[in-house]
Chains A and B, each alone.
Chain A
Amino acid sequence: MRLLRYFLFRLLQMFPIALFIVVINFALIHLAPGDVSILLAGEGADPEYMQSIRESYGLDRPLHEQLGAYLGQILQGDLGLSFRTREPVIDIIAERIPATLLLAGTALVLASIAGVAIGAVMARRPGSALDTAVTTLSISLFSIPVFWLGLMLILLFAVTLRWLPSSGMVSIAGPREGLGFVLDVVRHMILPVTALAAVWLGQYVRLSRASVSETLAEPYVTTARAIGFPERRVMTRFALRNAMLPIVTVLGLELGLLLSGAVLTETVFSWPGLGRLIYEAILSRDTPVIMGAFLIMSFTVMLAALLTDLLYAALDPRVRL
C-alpha cells in the first residue's frame, strides 16, 4: 500500500520531466542551423515527401502550435520517419532494443554483483595496502574509454589470438536455433560484455567500498557487535543491507552514463543494438533517428529511476510520502 502510493506519486513527478525533455528536443530542432523540414526529411528528399513532413509537423503554423502538434505526435508514439529507410523511427528503435538490453543488462548484472562484493570486502580493511591498490585500480578502470578497451580486446582476443569473434551478435553461417544458437550469441557477447562490465566494475567497487565502510562506522553496527553477532552476520544483515540504499540510488542515477557506454561499445563491436543504430544515423545524418533515440534513452532512464526509487522504498522503511 505504502509502496503503491509512493510509486504513483513518483510517477506523477515524472511528467514534467518528460515534458521538459520533449521541449528541449523541440527547441533544439528549431534552434539548429538550416531548415527544419530539411533536418527532418533529409537533404535531397523529393518535394512531395518534404511537403508531407511540413504538414505532419505543422511547420507553417506558429511555434506554439507546432509544439502542440509535436507533443501530440510523441504521445501517439510517432517519432517521425527515418529519412534513410522511410520506416517509422519508433519501429526501427524497438527492433534494436532487445540487443542493447541483452548486452547492457548482462554487463550491469555482472559488474554490480562483482563490484558490490569486492567493495564490501575492501571496506572490511580500510586503508590497508590491498584497499589502496584496489581503489587505485578501480579508478583506473573507469578512466578507460570503453570504446578503446573494446578495440584492445578485439586486437588481443580476436585478431591476435583468434579465440573469439570480433563483431556482430551471431555468426553468419551459424545455427539459428537451439543450444548452438545460444552458445554462438554467448561467444559474441564475451568481448563487449567484458569491456562494458570492466569499466562499470570500477564504479561499483568504489561505490560499494565507500558505502559499506560508512555503514560499518554506524552505531547500529557497534550494537550488533556488542550483542555478539558473528562478523559475517554483522556484515550482511547490518552493514550491507543498509549500504544497499545509497548503492541502489547511485545505480539508478548513473544509468544514463551506463547507456552511453553501451552505445560506444556497440559501435566498436558492431553489436546490432541502439548504439549501432545511433552511430549509423550520425554517419548518414539521419536526424529523426538521433532525436528519437535521445527521447527513448531519456524515457528509459526515467523509467529506471522510477524503478530504483521503488526498489529503494522497498528496502528502506523510512521512505514515505
Chain B
Amino acid sequence: MTPTAAKTLRATVASVPGALSLAVFLVICATALAAPILGLPDPADMAFALYQPPSAEHWLGTDNFGRDILSRVVWGAQVALTVAVGAALLSILIGSALGAIAGYFGGWVDGLLSRVFDIFLLIPTFFLILLIVALFGASLPLTIVAIALTTWPRSARLMRSQVLTLKSRVYVQAALAAGAPHWWVIVRHVIPNGIAPIITDGTILMGMAILTEAGLSFLGLGDQNLVSWGSMIFEGQRHLRLAPWMSIAPGVALLLLVASLNLLGDSINFAMNPQLRTRGGAPKRRATTAPPAGETAPAADTPILEVDDLRLVYHAGARRIAAVDGVSFTLPRGGSLGIVGESGCGKSSLGSALLQTMPNNAELTSGTIRFDGRAIVLGGKPVVENGRSRIDALRWTRMATIFQSAMNALNPVTTVRRQMMDALRLHKPGISREEATARIAEVFAMIGIPASRMNAYPHQLSGGMRQRAMIALSLILEPELVIADEPTTALDMLIQDQILGEIADLRERLNLSLILVSHDMGAVAESCDVVAVMYAGRIVEIAPTQRIFGNPAHPYTRTLIGALPSLTGPLEELESLPATDTAAAAAATGCRFAHACPAATDLCRRAAPPAVPLGAGHVSECHYAEDFAAEPSSEPHAAPAAAKEARA
C-alpha cells in the first residue's frame, strides 16, 4: 500500500461514519465468504415448516416453501457482492481505458469519445439494462455486463479529467522524452496516478450495481438459479400479509450493504479532501465585548485606523497556525499604507481581520482595532454597542474594500449596476431609483467605465473593466477608508499601472485613506506614502516609501525590492516559499527570517530581534537594522522607479 493510500485509509477510519461503514462492509464480505462453513441449512432445502415466523430454529423464519431465510440472506450476499465487484471492476476497466485515451490523445479522439460519454449520460441506464436482460434472458453474468456497459462513462469522465491534468506533469513528459511508447506511458504513469478518485467512485458504483440488480430481480428479471436479495423481496411481496419477514430481512441486508458502500465512498472522499467537510458555512457567532470606558470623541487629527498587537490564528485540525502574530500600525486620516509580503505571510489574513470577514477557522486571539478613535475590536473581540456590532455600522458607508475581481469577487449572475444598486439601497433605504441611478452613473464616470457597460454581467467585462467595476462598487457610498487586497493581480502590466494610477488619483481627489495589500513592491511604491513589509505574520519593517526603497533596514525587504539579489538568489525562490514554511518560521525561536537570511548570525538564531526605531517612522525588526539602514540600496533615489521597471 502506498503511503498516501495508507494515510487516506487512516483518515477514513478516523471518522465515525467511515469506521462504521467499513466495519459493516467487511462483516458482510466475511459472512458471504464464510457462507459454506457457517453450518446453515441449504438455502434451497424445503422443510415442511412453511411460513414460520422467526424462531430459535429459524432465526429469520422460513418462506412459502419452508426454506430458511437466514441462510438465503447469507447466500444472497454472495450474489450481491459478485454483482457489485464484477460490474464495478468491468465498468472501471472499460471507463479508465477509454477515458485515458480520450484525455491523453486529445484532438478528435477526445472530441468523439467525450461525445459518446455525454450521450450515455442521457440514456436512462436502468431501462436499457432492463431491455437487454428482457431480450437476452435473465442471467447474472449478463446483468453484470449490462450494468458495466451502461455505467462505464462515469469512470471515463473522471479518468479523462485526471489525465488532462496529469499529462503536463514532469514525469509523464520525461517518460515521453525518453522515448517510451504512448500505451506504456498511459499504463505505467497516467492510470496509476489518476485512479484514486475513480476507486472512490467505485464504491458508489458498487452500490448502484447492487440496487440495479435488486431492482431487476424485483421486476422478475433475476437469475432463476441464484438466491438474490431482490428476488427474495419479489417473492416476499406476494406473501406480505402472511409472512412479512420474508421481505423484511433481505431488504435490511440490501440497505446495510448499499449504505455502507455509499458512506464509505463519501468518507474516503472527505478523507482525501478534508476541506470539503468544513469549508464555507455561515460566519460563526463569536464572543463579543462592550465598548471600552472613557472613549473620547474623535478629533480632526485622530488617526482613521489604529491597530495594536493584532493576532490571528487558524485552526487546521489540531494545528494552530499564527497567520498574524502581533501586528501594530497607525494610519492617519488621508494616509496610505502598503502592506507587502509573499503569499502566506499573513497580509490577506490581516486584511480580513480589519474587515472582520475571516473564515470560521480563523480567530483573533488578541489585539485592538480602532476606527476613527472608536474601538471596533477590543482584546480580539468585536465591540458591540446597543446590540449592533460597531463594524457592521461602518461597513461600506465608512470602510469599504476592493477585492481582486479576477477571483470572482463580483456576483457572476448579477449585472454590475444591479450589484451597486443593491449595496446603495441596503445602506440608504430611502433613496429613490433616480437618485440611485444617478449616483451609480456618477461613480462609473469617475472610474472611467463607459455608461454602456453598466448593465453588463461581470464575465462580459474585460479584466481591467471588471476590476474598475469592483472599485466603483467600493466607492459607491463614499467611504473614508478603503482596503484593497491585491487589486491588480492577474491583470496585464499596462492595465495594472493604469488602475494603480487611478486608485492613487481617486485617493487624492476623494481624500480617501487607503490600505493596499500586495505581493508586489512596485505596486505599493506607486500609490502609498508608507510601506509595511510583512514576513511570517509580523511587520518586519515599516517606513515611508522613499526611505524603505532608499535605505531598507531589513534583509528581507532588500530581497523583496531586489537590492540584494546576489546574496539570496533569485526572488522567485522566496515567493514560492510555501505557507507552511512561514508558519514554521513563526514558531521558531530567534529571528523568523534567520533560515533564509544571508546575514544571519548565532545571535539571530538565539534571540528574536527587537523593533529598532530608526527615526522618521522607520522601524525594523532586525538585530543589525542600524547597520543595514546606514548602507543605502544600490540606487537610493531611483529605487521606486527601478522596482517598477523590474516588474515590467
Contact = CB atoms under 8 A, between A and B. Distances in A.
B37 interface: no
Contacts of A279: 219-220
A132 to B, nearest CB: 7
Contacts of B401: 223, 226
Contacts of A263: 126-127, 219
A113 interface: no
Interface string B468-482: 000001000000000
A123 B280 contact: yes
Contacts of B126: 256-257, 259-260, 263
Given A225-B357, A228-B396, A231-B282, A318 B412 contact: yes
Nearest to A218: B408
A216 B408 CA distance: 12
A24 B473 CA distance: 55
Interface string A255-294: 1110110011001100000000011001101010011011
A148 B247 contact: yes
A291 B127 CA distance: 9
Contacts of B137: 33
B233 A220 contact: no
Contacts of A224: 411
Contact of A260 (B124, B236, B276): B124
A139 interface: yes
Nearest to A301: B124
Contact of B281 (A29, A216, A218, A228): A216
A259 B172 CA distance: 43
A301 B121 CA distance: 10
**Contact-size category for A:** 35 or more
Contacts of A294: 124, 127-128, 130-131
A301 to B, nearest CB: 5
Interface string B110-139: 000000000101111111101110111100
Nearest to A238: B411
Interface string A212-229: 111111111011111111
A151 B251 contact: yes
A321 B259 CA distance: 41
Interface string B259-273: 101110010000000
Contacts of A16: 119
B395 A228 contact: yes
Interface in B86-122: 119, 121-122
B392 interface: yes
Contacts of B259: 139-140, 143-144
A193 interface: no
Contacts of B127: 256, 259-260, 263, 278, 293-294, 297-298
A315 B413 contact: yes
Contacts of A176: none
A224 B355 CA distance: 12
A154 interface: yes
A135 B266 contact: yes
Contact of A148 (B17, B251, B403): B251
A213 B281 contact: yes
Contacts of A301: 122-124
Contacts of A317: 412-413, 457, 459-460
B423 interface: yes
Nearest to B250: A148
Contacts of A231: 282-283
A223 B263 contact: no
A126 interface: yes
B124 A256 contact: yes
A239 to B, nearest CB: 8
Given A20-B119, A220-B412, A32 B135 contact: yes
A186 interface: no
Interface stretch (B182-190, B210-218, B532-540, B609-617): B210-218
B130 A278 contact: yes
Nearest to A127: B278
A159 B410 CA distance: 57
Interface in A17-52: 17, 20-21, 24-25, 28-29, 31-33, 39
Contact of A136 (B17, B136, B411): B17
Given A227-B423, A241-B413, A260-B127, A145 B233 contact: yes
Nearest to A264: B215
Interface residues of B, number: 80
B74 interface: no
A316 B119 CA distance: 23
A191 interface: no
Given A136-B17, A302-B122, A39 B135 contact: yes
Nearest to B125: A256
Contacts of B392: 228
A140 B240 contact: no
B429 to A, nearest CB: 13
A268 B237 CA distance: 8
Name which of B135, B248, B422 has the most chain A CB atoms within 10 A of its CB. B135
A219 B409 contact: yes
Interface in B236-256: 236-237, 240-241, 244, 247-248, 250-251, 254-255
B262 A142 contact: yes
B279 A213 contact: yes
Q: Which of A20, A29, A226, A231 has the most CB of B within 10 A?
A: A226
A214 B276 CA distance: 8
A216 B282 contact: yes
A285 to B, nearest CB: 8
A313 to B, nearest CB: 12
Interface in A225-247: 225-229, 231, 234-235, 237-238, 241-242, 245
B131 A28 contact: yes
A151 B258 contact: no
A290 B215 contact: no
A159 B131 contact: no
A147 interface: yes
B427 interface: yes
A199 to B, nearest CB: 10
B128 A24 contact: yes
A112 B553 CA distance: 62
A240 to B, nearest CB: 11
Given A214-B280, A260-B215, A287 B410 contact: no
Nearest to B404: A219
A155 interface: yes
A226 B396 contact: yes
A61 interface: no
A148 B218 CA distance: 9
Which of B131, B259, B400, B426 is packed against the most chain A CB atoms within 10 Å?
Answer: B131
Interface centre among B237, B248, B254 (most CB of A within 10 A): B237
Contact of A227 (B279, B396, B457, B459): B396
B458 to A, nearest CB: 9
A284 to B, nearest CB: 11
Given A145-B255, A155-B248, A267-B218, 17 more contacts: A17-B119, A28-B131, A127-B281, A132-B16, A145-B218, A147-B218, A151-B237, A159-B241, A212-B280, A214-B280, A216-B280, A217-B280, A222-B352, A256-B125, A256-B126, A282-B219, A318-B459
19 contacts: A17-B119, A20-B119, A127-B278, A135-B266, A139-B263, A140-B259, A151-B237, A152-B248, A216-B282, A219-B404, A226-B401, A227-B400, A231-B282, A231-B283, A256-B124, A257-B124, A305-B122, A315-B413, A317-B412
